[in-house]
Amino acid sequence: MGKHTRRKLNQQQQRRVHQRRHSQALSAQERANARPGQVITNFGKRVMVEDNEGQQHNCAIRQNLGKLVAGDRVLWQETGVDHEGVVIALEPRQSVLARPGFRGQDRMIAANIDRIGIVAPLDPGVHPDMIDRYLVACCQQGFTPLLIINKTDLIETDAQWEALAETLLAYDELELPIFPVSAEDGSGLDELRQALKDHTSVFVGPSGAGKSSLINALIPDIDIRIGALSQATGLGKHTTSNSILYHLPEGGDLIDSPGVRLFSPQKPENLKALEACFPELHTTALSCRFNNCTHTDEPGCAVLQAVQDGEIAFSRYHSFQRLREEFAL
């Protein structure tokens, strides 16, 4: 076996192996006495777990399970105190959205999701770099991206609509689903509801994007749910900085995630892996003179020529180069 095939497992693979080993380590009696549940939110050293009957339970977490996040499927046991329990096992995750944290440790955002709603607000502004970073994460994990342009009630003229269309042209050409919506006047929400129906989705985006306002508009009784969650966690007004899962009236789950100033996807293995997450750039790069072209100043670079000719949006090219430099590829 060559040295390259003996490379260390990455952090996500290590977590999966750990989860499988711990799940297998449960005794037959523990498994028989355990109940399945879904993590609604993590607060401090405890989690709120919902059982199959829709009842929520304030649960401690058995040691060595690691951090649990909204969307996790778990096994838990009752403690004898009403609506309290202990999570004893984490079921294998089908997917994880995470971002690099301190000291190289991933900070998990949500688990077992299949769609990411990238919320880009008109105020303070739609930033392609933010969108592109989440699109890379979708590419890496196989998530379906939805681009949600929020606060469209602020648009007053045709010229403003045309400027927005120009900003979004690159994503329209990628056939990315785009949803112009307003939590304020309700426009576009019916289409968004249909896209979220029967899926497990997470809303992501910067602070001030209006994610919570959108969720309030999509879930009419959310104030009641938040109140019940606050009472159950004992935190009073619920101000957790972690993700929270809500059930959608039409079916499916929606996870609200904390706003982040600058999201970074996982580091790609190499330059080609990053290129693959920019489809229009990846296709053009096949015509570059050099196979290891970084598309910066190499002669015969087809990507630079395509940018110059307007065939590749400069904003997308700029996002690619920022990530290439950030990851030192």
Tens digits of residue pLDDT in 292-303: 999 999 999 999
| CATH code, domain carrying 304 | 1.10.40.50
Residue 266 domain flag: no
Residue 96 domain flag: no
**What amino acid is encoded at 30 in this protein?**
E
| Residue 184 and residue 297 in one domain | no
Provide the number of structural domains found in the chain.
3
pLDDT at 169: 96
- Over range 149-164, report the average pLDDT: 94
Whether the per-residue pLDDT at 2 is higher than 70: the answer is: no
Whether the per-residue pLDDT at 7 is higher than 60: the answer is: no
pLDDT in tens, 274-292: 999 999 999 999 999 999 9
Whether the per-residue pLDDT at 146 is higher than 90: the answer is: yes
Cα–Cα dist 164/155, whole Å: 9
* Choice between 294 and 209, residue whose per-residue pLDDT is larger: 294
User: How distant, in Å, are the alpha carbons of 6, 66, 154, 212, 295 from that of 161?
Assistant: 53, 46, 10, 24, 33
Query: DSSP labels for 230-285?
Result: HHHHT-SS---SS-EEEE-TTSSEEEE----SS---PPPSSHHHHHTTSHHHHHHH
| Residue 251 and residue 289 in one domain | no
Residue 97 domain flag: no
Residue 98 domain flag: no
| Residue 36 and residue 120 in one domain | no
| Residue 213 and residue 132 in one domain | yes
- The CA-to-CA distance between both ends of the chain, in Å, stands at 26
Dihedral sign from CA coordinates of 246, 251, 253, 254 = negative
* Choice between 5 and 47, residue whose per-residue pLDDT is larger: 47
Residue 215 domain flag: yes
Cα–Cα dist 230/263, whole Å: 28
Which pTM value belongs to this model?
A: 0.85
Q: Which of 4-13, 210-219, 281-290: highest mean pLDDT?
A: 281-290
Which of 256, 288, 312 is the C-terminal boundary of a domain? 256
* Choice between 45 and 94, residue whose per-residue pLDDT is larger: 94
pLDDT in tens, 111-123: 999 999 999 999 8
Contact 156, 125 (CB under 8 A): no
List the beta bridge partners of residue 35: 76
| Residue 166 and residue 218 in one domain | yes
Residue 4 domain flag: no
| Residue 20 and residue 66 in one domain | yes
User: Where do the H-state alpha helices sit in the chain?
Assistant: 11-25, 28-33, 128-141, 158-173, 189-196, 211-218, 222-233, 271-275, 279-285, 302-308, 314-326
Site of tokens 């497992």: 9
Dihedral sign from CA coordinates of 221, 222, 228, 231 = negative
Neighbours of 278 (CB within 10 A): 23
| Residue 123 and residue 223 in one domain | yes
| Residue 246 and residue 286 in one domain | no
| Residue 195 and residue 252 in one domain | yes
pLDDT at 18: 53
Residue 155 domain flag: yes
List the beta bridge partners of residue 89: 75
| Structural domain harbouring 129 | 110-256
List the beta bridge partners of residue 178: 147
Residue 32 domain flag: yes
